[in-house]
Amino acid sequence: MAGGCGEYNSRKGDVFTEERVSNAWCFNGCCPNLKSRYYLGRKAKRMSLDIDDFLQPGKLPTVSLPALPPGHVSVSIRHSEASTQAASTIHEAGTSYVTPKSASVSTAAGTSSVTPKSDSAYTAAGTSSEAPKSASAYTAFESRFSLIERVMNALKDDRTNPIVICGMGGIGKTTLLKEFCKRAKGEGIFNEVAMADVGRNPEFKKIQGDIAEFLGLTLSGDNLSARACKLSERLDCGKRILVILDDVWETIDFEEVGIPPSRNCKILISFRNQDIYKEIETKMNFFVGLLQPHEAWSLFKEMAGSSIESPELRTIAEQILSECDRLPLAISAVGSALKGRGKQAWSDALRRLRRNSPQSVPEVLSKVYPILEFSYDCLGTKDAKSLFLFCCLYPEGSDIRVEDLVRHGVGLQLYEGITSMEEGRDHVGALIEELKNRSLLLDSNKKECVKMHDVLREVALHIAFLRFQQNDSSRNENRFFVRHGVKLDGWRSVEGTDAQQYTCSALITKETHGDVAELLLLSCRDDSIVPLEAALKGMEKLKVFEIKNANLLSTLPALKVLESLQTLCLEHCVLGDVSIIGELRTLMILSLRGSSINQLPVSFRNLANL
């Protein structure tokens, strides 16, 4: 714009000077000077034509930066000469940075000092020059910082592919992968970075879709081979691309997914042990161990507050930290739960953490179970506890839509005093913030979604089941448990339907006359025909029912048995005539997102609570 608007502004100043304008009148301003006015008029006309031409579509230059993809923060860094000599000093405890005062970052939250990017120092945008919080503090520890540097060097080396980050659950592998993602993009090592969560039961279609979304690629159809071929072509476009696969439990065929390792396509995965891809000679492993003792104390102090240094709490705090066994997930959860609590609460916490886990809890969770159960019990409200347990309803590693937590929770009357969707959204948003602050929920790479760590989810499932079995009404909590992919006792099987063609989750509550299913989530494949009459028999008390990717053209009338239904979600389904829905007079929430219907029926006028 400097050569456009600035030029016209200068020309205007030269033509319409005070002297020339005053000469446009004569006889002391009594009469107009026709010659001068004619001259100024011609100049103004020419300038207006030039400006009109300048403002034509396609000629106006960009005056702002394009919008960033979801999950990215706009950052502007102001440097002085001193800021080019970025110095980042990690103290023995690994939690403090020294940054030049001249560097600052403008974010929505305000301005804070950061270390400019260099080979020896790196911090996330928006990190304060004080001791970094949570994830930033974790990656700043000496043990993690040195690991990050070694992995970044491997990412730059064309001779290593894939790169495997190994370590036990809760050790911080996902946090490290996110740091690698930021650094790889920030340092320009790769043109593009894509991430996908694999999980214990990998679904290749979902993995392909997640990677494609990062790359701006649309994959249609259900043929995995065709999708893999299209994804592979996109990854072989000549750009350097990093594909990150988190939470891998078993060897997956890269070729089958469509992400074959190559010079331009580097693969970075997280795995729980080093016994994977032995046959690939270019593979390189990096093991993530427990925190060093001083690092564990520093993280605990970060989460629980500086009060743990006081003579009153120091000894108890050291004993509690010992129970956490230097595991970052456990330290963060317990520390945030005890922040601001008095000595009696700390002493009681130590007693509870030393209890043995219930016999039904798997050995792999035996150490962390009492720690995370304690963090759950420290949640201040019944609603926060309900939402935490409710999140384990969704499949492992899934991106949980916040809107689903609202719809399903309001339909179940899970949140006290909430009578509308607007109230529900505000309330759930506040609860999610509380759970994130307690390290019990995680941010998702997808907009308007959250995630639950797989270890936390396993613990939540056991807490829900064990509390469900207990007949203790004094506890300030809802009692329900979740079943995934199994036939519940007393439920009829879905006749004529291959069990492999759908996944099913249910939420069960306890009533005086027995266990009752109040929520059913059914996800089909390939628009399967679902015999609803058989599937819904004995489920008349359902409050929430969701079906995805199903053909319900001939079976939809079976919904009439759901006389207590509050929330109905028929998404990406083949529906046809939906007039039967108008007979569900208790319905408060209805979603037909992505579904095909003939027309909006007159019977919908019966849905007064919608």
Check whether residue 309 and residue 336 sit in a common domain.
yes
Check whether residue 601 and residue 490 sit in a common domain.
yes
Instruction: Using the predicted structure, report yes or no on whether residue 240 has a pLDDT greater than 80.
Output: yes
* CATH code, domain with 353: 1.10.8
Which one of 419, 453, 476 terminates a domain?
476
Give the mean pLDDT of 519-526.
Answer: 82
Positive or negative CA dihedral for 176, 181, 183, 189?
positive
Instruction: Using the predicted structure, report yes or no on whether residue 102 has a pLDDT greater than 80.
Output: no
Backbone angles phi, psi at 598, to 5 degrees: -70, -55
Find out whether 295 and 324 touch, Cβ atoms under 8 Å.
no
In a domain, residue 443? The reply is yes
Total domain count for the chain?
A: 6
In a domain, residue 69? The reply is no
In a domain, residue 180? The reply is yes
* CATH code, domain with 531: 3.80.10
In a domain, residue 83? The reply is no
**Lowest mean pLDDT, pick from 25-29, 296-300, 454-458, 549-553:** 25-29
Check whether residue 123 and residue 156 sit in a common domain.
no
Instruction: Using the predicted structure, report yes or no on whether residue 462 has a pLDDT greater than 90.
Output: no
Host domain of residue 534: 485-606
Give the mean pLDDT of 57-77.
Answer: 38
Question: Can you name the residues that pair with 285 across neighbouring β-strands?
Answer: 164
pLDDT band at 49 (very low <50, low <70, confident <90, very high): low
Rg (CA), the chain: 30
Instruction: Using the predicted structure, report yes or no on whether residue 88 has a pLDDT greater than 80.
Output: no
Taking residue 412's Cβ as centre, other Cβ atoms within 10 Å add up to 20
Find out whether 116 and 103 touch, Cβ atoms under 8 Å.
yes
| More confident of the two residues 129 and 135 | 135
Check whether residue 397 and residue 463 sit in a common domain.
yes
Instruction: Using the predicted structure, report yes or no on whether residue 69 has a pLDDT greater than 50.
Output: no
Looking at residue 142, what is its pLDDT? Answer: 87
Which one of 373, 393, 414 terminates a domain?
373
Instruction: Using the predicted structure, report yes or no on whether residue 501 has a pLDDT greater than 90.
Output: no
Which residues contact residue 161 at a Cβ distance below 8 angstroms, ignoring those fewer than 6 apart?
261, 262, 266, 267, 282, 283
Instruction: Using the predicted structure, report yes or no on whether residue 68 has a pLDDT greater than 70.
Output: no
Check whether residue 49 and residue 141 sit in a common domain.
no
Tell me, yes or no, if the pTM score tops 0.75.
Answer: no
Q: Which two tokens stand for residue 597?
A: 């219907």
Instruction: Using the predicted structure, report yes or no on whether residue 325 has a pLDDT greater than 70.
Output: yes
pLDDT digits (tens, 9 = 90+) for 208-239: 999 999 999 999 888 899 999 999 999 988 89
Which one of 256, 287, 318 terminates a domain?
287
Residue 391 DSSP class? G
pLDDT above 70 as % of the chain: 71
Tell me the C-alpha distance between 408 and 591, whole Å.
11
Give the max Cα distance, the chain: 108
The letter for the amino acid at 434 is E
Check whether residue 177 and residue 224 sit in a common domain.
yes
Looking at residue 512, what is its pLDDT? Answer: 61
Looking at residue 465, what is its pLDDT? Answer: 83
In a domain, residue 29? The reply is yes
Residue appearing with tokens 């506040």? 430
Classify strands 544-551 and 567-571 as parallel, antiparallel or unpaired. Answer: parallel
Give the mean pLDDT of 447-469.
Answer: 87
**Lowest mean pLDDT, pick from 259-263, 366-370, 526-530:** 526-530
Check whether residue 128 and residue 152 sit in a common domain.
no
In a domain, residue 579? The reply is yes
| More confident of the two residues 517 and 80 | 517
Check whether residue 506 and residue 489 sit in a common domain.
yes
As to burial, measured by CB atoms within 10 angstroms (0-12 exposed, 13-18 middle, 19+ buried), residue 465 is middle
In a domain, residue 72? The reply is no
Tell me the C-alpha distance between 434 and 388, whole Å.
10
Instruction: Using the predicted structure, report yes or no on whether residue 383 has a pLDDT greater than 90.
Output: yes
Find out whether 589 and 407 touch, Cβ atoms under 8 Å.
yes
Check whether residue 461 and residue 518 sit in a common domain.
no
Give the mean pLDDT of 313-323.
Answer: 94
Check whether residue 159 and residue 205 sit in a common domain.
yes
pLDDT band at 609 (very low <50, low <70, confident <90, very high): confident
Give the mean pLDDT of 13-36.
Answer: 52
Check whether residue 207 and residue 303 sit in a common domain.
no
As to burial, measured by CB atoms within 10 angstroms (0-12 exposed, 13-18 middle, 19+ buried), residue 413 is middle
* CATH code, domain with 147: 3.40.50.300
Give the mean pLDDT of 121-128.
Answer: 30
pLDDT digits (tens, 9 = 90+) for 546-602: 998 888 888 888 899 998 999 999 998 988 889 999 999 999 999 999 898 878 888
In a domain, residue 61? The reply is no
Check whether residue 267 and residue 305 sit in a common domain.
no
pLDDT digits (tens, 9 = 90+) for 470-489: 755 555 556 676 666 534 33
